[in-house]
Amino acid sequence: MFKKKKTMGKAHVRALLPMFKEFNSLSKVFISMLNKKIEAKQTAVKQIKVLVSGMSTPGDLQSNISITTVDINKTSIRGKTGGSYNQVMDWESDFMKNRKKFII
């Protein structure tokens, strides 16, 4: 019912060690070849995206900043009936006094 764990002796491990080292070196070469193929395909896809969209894509950038400007002098308020009027909000007057703040 229970399988016994097989263990190898020191002599057997020492005999197999060169074979494992050779296997590891071959696997590193194989992995590097696969990585080169992946990089080549990624560059081909980037070139196709540029051809299709006419715009180049950013490289390996990890962050984006989206900046929106807002006119805070007068806020236009529209009602349900279709009428609209301009009004200065309370937070806008405080914000205009101290211009070194950010709204996130």
DSSP string for 12-64 = HHHHHHHHHHHHHHHHHHHHHHHHHHHHHHHHHHHHHHHHHHSSPPP-S----
**Phi, psi (5° rounding) for residue 77?**
-115, 130
Question: Which residue, chain included where needed, has tokens 């703040």?
Answer: 101
- Name 87's Cβ contacts closer than 8 Å, sequence gap at least 6: 74, 75, 77
pLDDT in tens, 22-50: 999 999 999 999 999 999 999 888 888 77
pLDDT in tens, 49-75: 777 776 655 666 566 666 666 655 667
Q: Higher model confidence: residue 3 or residue 45?
A: 45
pTM comes to 0.40
